[in-house]
Structure 1
Amino acid sequence: MAPARVNQDEEYDYIVCGGGTSGSVVAGRLAEDPNVRILVLEAGVDSADLENVHMAGGWSQNFDAPTDWNIETVPAYGLGGRSIKASRGKFLGGSSGVNGMLCIRGTKQDYDDWGLDGWSGEEVFGYMKKAETFHGDDEFKEAKGYHGFSGPLHTEPHTLAPISKLLLESMDDQGLPSVPDLFSTGEAANGSGNTVRTVYNGIRTTGADFITKDYHRSNITIKTEMTVDKILFESSSSGGKPRAHAVETLNASGERETFSASKEIILSSGSYCSPAILLRSGIGPAKELAAINIDTIVDSPGVGKNLQDHMIVFIFYEVKDAGLTNDYQVYHGDAFAATYKQWKEEKKGFLAKFPFGAFAYARLDERLKDEPLWKNAQRKEGRDPMGLAPNQPNVEFFSTECYGGPKQLIDFPVDNKHCFSIIAELFSPHSHGTVTIKSSDPMEIPVVDHRYLEDPLDMLVLSEACRFANEIVIKGKGTKDVVKGSWPEKLTHHAYTKREEWEPYVRENATTCYHPGGTCKMGLPDDPMAVLDERLRVRGVEGLRVADVSVMPRLNQGHTQMPAYAIGEKCADMLKEDAR
């Protein structure tokens, strides 16, 4: 193999490996000091001209393409041997350019539970606020003190379709009361409402906005189509820890290039690729590294372990009346052409937003109290069997305003039918997985084994959540009289009344919510599986940090977009503090 070309004419203070959600925040905030030079290395292409990034409704067209990492999980026993497509954005902005745009922060308790200095719920919520510029409207009652008005991330509430308003009525009727701006405050573990989205004036806002557009600065160099192979270390002259000083990459032509950093290197390549880069760099479980002929620099058994995700299940329904859902804007006749034209010319309409509608948090204690598995499960004082306190939700419900979801669902209602779904999402899963690599080849996709639903408690909670979701739709006063049947018929059956009847459906239809995290977790000094300390520094070396949702010891009870922004903001502040 030819030696890497060293770019001696390019000197940087900081190198950020990954121009996704967190990495772009780190780079943008560091660049506020005009005296430092930052290099951002992104494996994918520039997103400036990717219409399906900026047009929120085009999100799915970025999957199964060069703009997707095209990762597929190891077949999961808990899913009956199915594999899941674990899509991640591979372009500047990363998964903030393909996600559901949902600003569902979780609860402050989620972050307090980490037990790490500087990462309390109050502090993490403050960093989410710092990233945001919120744009309200007359219908949405935003919570005072929770939204920011000066960050690069522009957000606004969603204008609800009629079916979503009816679902909110049903949620309230079935014991999930309306709580304004619940998903910004996280102050109730049982409630419903609308939520804020990362879109403004018909354009999706992404992490890339921290380093492009109005926030492009001359002291940031962005190199796209540059795959990070590994971090290079130099020995300490005093016998101390090895120091990260350079990054070895593969460019679009397959040539190796090396870039040096005088201060620090920040790894922000996501929960699948950050551990893979550490492993290729010699940081990971020594036995695993030896098996693929990689020399160990730090024996760190936690690298690639502790992989967590939120499982979701779509349950679809057909409605009796036209106009309740938005299917007529995209699936009926030549409607899509007119809808696309509207977005191109006005940046309005169906494609200017993401087709999610009503949302709810729910506790399931009462519904599960007589289940033997729930009653007999071990638990800590003040916690339920999932490890959650009473102020943390067990599950989330949210809806689509038309037919749509995982790409395998292709029976679109083109024959003037009108459909929607309610989605059940599992929080705090007991089933944790791994990310490993098969070789030192940086172009080889990591091996992702989520071990979805292997723990019986996960299946118990998710199947009961599906049962509850179905009750909301077919019993709730807003929707019970508008539902005609399930869509398509093979997906669900309204006759399911017992929790156990939902288990086969869950096993067949559960998919990922694309919230992988935890694979390079922070932890206290006495935690042998902690890859990082509480300041995001990689243990055993100097000059190297990780900043993305892989650092989360435990996922929040929400979505991971806003924590990703908070992690980037927090990392940048710590880098500035340490530089001073």
Structure 2
Amino acid sequence: MEATEADYIIVGGGLAGCALASRIHHGNPSLRVLVIEAGTDPSGNPLVTTPMGGLTLTGSELDWAYTSLPQSQTNNRVHTNNAGKVLGGGSVINYGGWSRGDPADYDEWARVVGDPRWSYAGLLPFFRRSESYFDSKADPEKYGFSGPMHVTSVLASDPNRKYGLRQAIRDAWTELGVKYNPDPSESLSGLSDYLENWRNGLRQPSTLAYGLGGVQVLTNAMVHRVVFSTVDVGQPIASAVLLADGRLIAASKEIILSAGTFRTPQILMLSGIGPPATLSKHNVPQIYDAPQVGQNLFDHFAHFQFWKIRNPEKGLAIGSPLWKDPALFKGMPCDWAVNESIPLHILDPAVQADNQLASRSGKEYNLSLLHPSRSYVETTILYAPAGATNLPMNGKYIASSVMLCLPTSRGSVTISSASPTDPPVIDSNYYDTNADRVSLIHGTRRILEALLNTSAGKAYIETEAAPPGFPVLDTKATDMEIDARIRAAGISHKHAAGSAAMGTVLGNDLRVKGVQGLRVVDASILPVPVGGHPQATLYAIAEQAAELILQSS
């Protein structure tokens, strides 16, 4: 029998929602916890855990695949915004990369909201709580060893997982002066082992790693809005959720939105919490005037490129007849993550130009993030042409990603109607600031130098494999040529965040301002960008949120 009431209702059974539900239940098994997920339960689908499953499931029926408005900064292209439409959410369709941001990223978050709980030191216990780190000799003050999320490096996952380009890629970056960083918990800067949350060659969706035993789960159930009870004195109280099919489920304690960066602001607005003009336009009764709902959207915009291998007969990429050892498939075929800052002489003029534009146009860019000692771009090299529509997976091509870690461009999410089944309207606004542009152009130039202008790179890489209709980029490419390519080919790294930000939409305890009994726990809460890959941060958020909720229950 389906529940008509619970103590805690979690709207969205994604990465954060599943982890949160599990932790609340285990913290107090007497509490009735209900997860409501619009997508399906993927139990029995082998692609959820098998190697390369994320590559297969992205864009499948388990993906919302939201589209953006045409983006003027990227040649009016419409971008796909992937989001898990499935119990487990993004952890089911992602690629398993695992890294924290720089400590300074979290310290900036804490500074912006005025709360040390969200600094690196404040979040560190929750990073440790979420993970089971592969290196038992690592500092226990920095890493956890008994959490549900198994974190491993390439060679730690299997000593036979030896990719043929591992040493060459390291040597190429070393020639460019990039130093090996064995402990990226202190700083991302440098070349570090690519970490991932795979276990015994299988991926770990949050619903499986954390477990939902004792938690009631309702799938294939879309939430329309939060229902508020009115009181004579004080704020409206979130008391129930109304499903799209008309069912009403009451919450005796709290409702937590964990529906993700795009859906959470949509539910808030459909519930009457949002910009008054938007609510009025779509005849949604206003509960609370919250103009920042749906604002502050940011993402890790990225430039992916493809490269032709000089000697494919050596078995250096997926698709080669020599690529047979099962150990090579126990994770993403990638050895290294390289995080770098942007030289001051490049960054400063861009920051100054953005400041001038902001003062004239009234736009607000969080330029306080821009500091040359921080990591602005992350570069990874994948031993397969993943994502290329024009290249065969035949062992002759590899791919690279240059990811913008600290974007200053800001977009928005809004609603197109009062119907929950109409998708949110997403204006990504990628690549809008000078700072973002010079950062990605510099990052692209660095990968060109590493692969085409070092002795180690030239020994293995013949040329860039340009997209159809575009000239090949090499080390002689101008900034304008690189910029043109990024505008034509740059895409999201699927790390959107910030659309229901702490400090504006939320208080520091994750409660929605202006009402009672309603919190948000997902990537939309981030007030500022955080580097690295978001999984580690999101699990830490869920861990701290569970503690906050249990303390108040």
Q: Shared fold (TM-score greater than 0.5)?
A: yes
- Check if 1:105 corresponds to 2:100: yes
1:413-437 CA deviation, whole Å, 9 max, x = no partner? 35x5522122211122221001011
Aligned counterparts of 2:94 and 2:2: Cα–Cα separation in 1:
38
CA distance in 1, matches of 2:491, 2:179: 27
**What is the alpha-carbon distance in structure 2 between the residues aligned to residue 69 and residue 478 of structure 1?**
41
Letter matched to residue 99 of structure 1:
N
2:519 is paired with a residue whose SS is: strand
Secondary structure (helix, strand or coil) at the match of 1:31 reads: helix
Q: Check whether the contact 1:286–1:301 (CA below 8 A) recurs between aligned residues.
A: yes
| Structure 2: distance between partners of 1:498 and 1:26 | 48
1:224 matched to 2:219: yes
Structure 1 window deviating more from structure 2 (479-488 vs 98-107): it is 479-488
Q: 1:326 to 1:92 in 2, by over 3 A?
A: farther
Distance in 1, Cα, partners of 2:165 & 2:390 = 20
Structure 2 counterpart of 1:21: 15
Partner of 2:377: 395
- SS of corresponding position for 2:398: strand
Distance 1:500 1:451, change over 3 A: same
Contact 2:68 2:81 in 1 (8 A): yes
CA contact (8 A) 1:230 1:280 kept: yes
The one-letter amino acid of 1:247's match is V
Aligned to 1:264: 254
Q: Is the 8 A contact 1:313 1:423 kept in 2?
A: yes
Q: Pairwise mapping of residues 148-159 of structure 1 onto structure 2 (< 5 A)?
A: 148-159=144-155
Q: CA deviation at 1:349?
A: 4.1
Residues in 1 aligned to 2:16 and 2:89: alpha-carbon distance in whole angstroms? 9
CA distance in 2, matches of 1:558, 1:323: 34
1:144, CA displacement in angstroms?
Answer: 5.0
Distance 1:458 1:228, change over 3 A: same
1:266–1:374 distance in 2 versus 1, CA, 3 Å: closer
**Deviation string, structure 1 residues 44-74 (Cα, Å, up to 9, x no partner):** 1112222222113121222333201020111
1:130 is displaced (CA, Å) by 0.7
Identity over aligned pairs, percent = 28
1:279-294 matched pairs, under 5 angstroms: 279-294=269-284
SS in 1 for 2:458: coil
Q: CA deviation at 1:352?
A: 3.4
Task: Measure how far apart 1:164 and its partner are.
Answer: 3.3
- Paired with 2:420 and 2:446, the residues of 1 have a C-alpha distance of 44
Q: How has the CA–CA distance of structure 1 residues 325 and 249 changed in structure 2, closer, same or farther, with 3 Å as cutoff? A: farther
Q: 532, 535, 551: which one pairs with 2:506?
A: 532
Task: Give, in whole Å, the separation in 2 of the partners of 1:76 and 1:376.
Answer: 21
* 1:146 maps onto 2:142 in alignment: yes
| 1:500 match | 480
Displacement of 1:265 in angstroms is: 0.7
Contact 2:390 2:467 in 1 (8 A): no
Distance 1:325 1:193 in 2: 24
- Corresponding position of 1:171: 173
Q: Where do residues 60-209 of structure 1 align in structure 2 (5 Å cutoff)? A: 60-114=55-109, 115=111, 116-117=114-115, 118-136=117-135, 142=138, 145-159=141-155, 161-182=163-184, 185-188=185-188, 190-209=189-208
| 1:323 CA displacement | 6.0
Structure 1 residues 79-126: Cα deviation after superposition (integer angstroms, max 9, x where no partner): 011111111111111001121211111111111112232111112232
Contact 1:241 1:541 in 2 (8 A): yes
Residues 469 and 332 of structure 1, relative CA distance in 2, 3 Å threshold: closer
- SS where residue 288 of structure 1 aligns? helix
For 1:166 and 1:291, locate their aligned partners in 2 and report how far apart those are by CA, in whole Å.
58
| CA-CA distance at 1:476 after TM superposition | 2.8
Pair 1:34-2:34 in alignment: no
- 1:496 offset after TM fit, Å? 3.6
Superposed displacement of residue 326, structure 1: 5.0
- Say if 2:236 is the partner of 1:242: yes
Q: Would the aligned equivalents of 1:168 and 1:193 in 2 still touch at CA under 8 Å?
A: no
Q: In the TM superposition, what is the alpha-carbon distance from 1:176 to its structure 2 partner?
A: 1.3
CA offsets, 1:381-439, max 9 Å, x none? xxx9673334421211111111113xxx212335x552212221112222100101111
Q: Is the 8 A contact 1:136 1:142 kept in 2?
A: yes
CA distance in 1, matches of 2:77, 2:476: 23
Cα deviation for residue 332 of structure 1 reads: 5.3
CA contact (8 A) 1:161 1:325 kept: no
Task: Assess if the C-alpha contact under 8 Å between 2:131 and 2:144 holds in 1.
Answer: yes
Structure 1 counterpart of 2:50, which letter?
A: M
Looking at structure 2, the residues matched to 471 and 386 of structure 1 have their Cα atoms a distance apart, in angstroms, of 30
CA–CA separation in structure 2 for the residues paired with 1:277 and 1:92: 18
Q: Classify the secondary structure of the residue corresponding to 2:80.
A: coil
Q: Note if contact 1:142-1:180 (Cα within 8 Å) is conserved in structure 2.
A: no
1:181–1:98: structure 2 CA closer, same or farther, 3 Å change rule? farther
Letter in 2 for 1:498: T
- What do residues 347-400 of structure 1 show as CA deviations (whole Å, max 9, x unaligned)? x4454312333211111125626x854566649xxxx96733344212111111
Question: Counterpart of 1:425?
Answer: 403
**CA distance 1:9–1:373, change in 2 (3 Å):** closer
In structure 2, the CA distance between the partners of 1:98 and 1:360, relative to structure 1 (3 Å rule), is same
**Would you say the 8 A contact 1:359–1:398 is kept in 2?**
yes
Deviation at 1:495, TM superposition (A): 5.0
Rounded Cα–Cα distance in structure 2 between residues aligned with 1:226 and 1:30: 22
Query: Secondary structure of 1:534's match?
Result: coil
Partner of 1:439: 417
Change (3 A) 1:351 1:417: closer
- The verdict on how the C-alpha distance between 1:110 and 1:257 changes in structure 2, with shifts beyond 3 A counting, is same
Distance 1:75 1:487 in 2: 26
Aligned-residue offset at 1:10:
3.9
Q: Which 5+ residue runs of structure 1 have no aligned equivalent?
A: 1-6, 343-347, 524-529
By how many angstroms is 1:8 displaced?
9.2
Distance 1:522 1:71, change over 3 A: same
Q: 1:438, 1:447 within 8 Å by CA — same for their partners in 2?
A: yes
Tell me, in whole angstroms, the C-alpha distance in 2 between the residues paired with 1:126 and 1:168. 32
1:453 aligns with 2:431: yes
Partner of 1:551: 525
Q: TM-score, normalised by structure 2?
A: 0.90
Structure 1 position 9, deviation (Å): 6.0
Change (3 A) 1:542 1:501: same
Q: Which residue of structure 2 lines up, in the alignment, with residue 411 of structure 1?
A: 390
Partner of 1:4: none
User: Which residue matches 1:520?
Assistant: 500
Say which is worse superposed, 549-558 or 154-163, in terms of deviation. Answer: 154-163
- The DSSP-based 3-state class of the residue aligned with 2:247 is strand
Q: Which range is displaced more, 24-33 or 48-57?
A: 48-57
Q: 1:375 to 1:466 in 2, by over 3 A?
A: same
Checking the alignment, whether the CA contact within 8 Å between 1:170 and 1:473 is kept in structure 2 is yes
Is the 8 Å Cα contact of residues 343 and 372 (structure 2) preserved in structure 1?
Answer: no
Partner letter of residue 175 of structure 1?
A: G
Provide the residue aligned with 1:477 in structure 2: 455
Aligned 8 A contact 2:11 2:258 in 1? yes
2:310 aligns with 320
Greater shift in the superposed pair: 532-541 or 152-161: 152-161
Q: What letter is aligned with 1:128?
A: F
